[in-house]
Amino acid sequence: MTADGPIFVLNGPNLNLLGQRQPEVYGSATLDDVVELCRTTAAKAGRDIDARQSNHEGELIDWVHEARLSASAVIINPGGFTHTSVALRDALVTLEVPLVEVHISNVHAREEFRRHSYVSGIASGVIAGLGIQGYRAAIDFVCAQD
Ligand code: CA2
């Protein structure tokens, strides 16, 4: 943990496709737009972000281990791993900094299997259904923590 370290913004599988498919579910903004929104929101509070996306469970886990050493907070949209990955949860539970789970869509208004998250029970907070503005809210939240 590093109090003045960057806010890690981690995005999981398929989120690189944002803005290219299923705009009726995920909107028309791209992942670059998400990163820009996070960066400008954090900058207003004098904070920096480290934004990464991976389609690979192990890579996301490696980044969480990295976050343990250097991040001041972690914001994660685990994508489909939200609903499947005990291993990602096992990594996230080791964090000693604020952890916010973000979903672009309202996972509770979709298929039943999306209603269960392996992450929610260990997160400081969960945001779903606000589109990419959920990332802004998550950045504002972690920036308001000591
Ligand atoms: O709503 C979210 O942010 C999700 O985490 C997105 C995941 C989904 O599995 C979760 O249940 C909810 C899927 C990410 C796929 O992203 C795409 C974006 C555009 C086009 C296709 C996929």
DSSP code of 120? G
Is residue 79 lining ligand 1, measured as CB closer than 6 Å?
Answer: yes
List, for residues 3-55, the tens digit of each pLDDT value. 789 999 999 999 999 999 899 999 999 999 999 999 999 999 999 999 999 99
List, for residues 42-94, the tens digit of each pLDDT value. 999 999 999 999 999 999 999 999 999 999 999 999 999 999 999 999 999 99
pTM of the predicted protein model: 0.97
Average pLDDT over residues 92-97: 98
| Long-range Cβ contacts of 112-115 (<8 Å, 24+ apart) | 113/83, 114/82, 114/83
List, for residues 110-139, the tens digit of each pLDDT value. 999 999 999 999 999 999 999 999 999 999
CA 114, CA 110: separation in Å to the nearest integer?
7
Q: Which atom of ligand 1 is nearest to the CA of 129?
A: 1
Q: Which atom of ligand 1 is nearest to the CA of 114?
A: 11
- For residue 1, pLDDT beyond 60: no
How many Cβ atoms are within 10 Å of 87's Cβ, its own excluded?
14
Q: Name the residue among 60, 69, 55 with its Cα closest to residue 90.
A: 60
Q: In sequence order, which residues have a C-beta less than 8 Å from that of residue 145 and are 6 or more positions away?
A: 73, 98
* Catalytic residue numbers, as ranges: 26, 103
Tracing tokens 């916010």 back to the chain, one arrives at: 100
CA 62, CA 51: separation in Å to the nearest integer?
14
pLDDT at 2: 65
pLDDT at 4: 87
CA 81, CA 37: separation in Å to the nearest integer?
23
Q: Mind listing the domains of the chain with CATH numbers?
A: 7-144 (3.40.50.9100)
pLDDT at 146: 72
Is residue 5 lining ligand 1, measured as CB closer than 6 Å?
Answer: no
